[in-house]
Structure 1
């Protein structure tokens, strides 16, 4: 006998005391997406695949994804070599050579073009 998956989402949502709108906001999807998942119109295939993954790997759903910290961008981007040295905590050369001056100018020009 062929079996069809019947979503249990509505039952679990109601048991948790949530409306479709509240669940949609918690999950980060639209309310109509929740309605489609609960009715079985869409989403069932993906849930079944996740269940198969877990059975094959003998793990929980939470084990399938590892969350890692993403390094934050600096609040301000350097506009000169002095700024870069300050950000890195390194000493600037005692005398500014023409190469450093040229690099500062090139960096500033590229910043202006990017605006």
Structure 2
């Protein structure tokens, strides 16, 4: 009997403190695409295929793609914290304890 995949996208999105709209903007898809993925209507076959890639190659998902900048002078952007993602989206949420990464990012912004 074949098992049907149940996506954990909604759980992980909520755990990250993101709305469907915020996640859609970060991923580069429509909000309805996120809704379809979360409900399992579409997208799960792609996720399962990526999982099979990682198992076959004994690697992590991020190892599958090498990100390079379009401009040789511009380093590839890396987001190191959830607060940086919220800042990028313009949806800053108050934090009870600022992370060291967010303090570094704020100091870098002030110095530019």
Answer yes or no: is 1:19 the counterpart of 2:19: yes
Answer yes or no: is 1:39 the counterpart of 2:39: yes
- CA distance in 2 between partners of 1:53 and 1:45 (Å): 12
Change (3 A) 1:71 1:42: same
Write the deviation string for residues 40-71 of structure 1: whole angstroms up to 9, x where unpaired: 11110000000000000000001101122335
Change (3 A) 1:25 1:69: closer
Which residue in the other structure is 1:60 paired with?
60
Write the deviation string for residues 45-102 of structure 1: whole angstroms up to 9, x where unpaired: 0000000000000000011011223357xxxxxxxxxxxxxxxxxxxxxxxxxxxxxx
Shift of 1:2: 2.0
SS of 1:3's equivalent in the other structure is coil
Higher-Rg structure is 1
TM-score where L is the length of structure 1? 0.59
Which residue in the other structure is 2:2 paired with?
2
- CA distance in 1 between partners of 2:69 and 2:25 (Å): 23
Query: Which structure 1 segments of 5+ residues have no match?
Result: 73-115
Moved over 2 A (4+): 68-72
Paired positions, count: 72
Shift of 1:17: 1.1
TM-score where L is the length of structure 2? 0.60
> Pairwise CA RMSD of aligned residues?
1.3
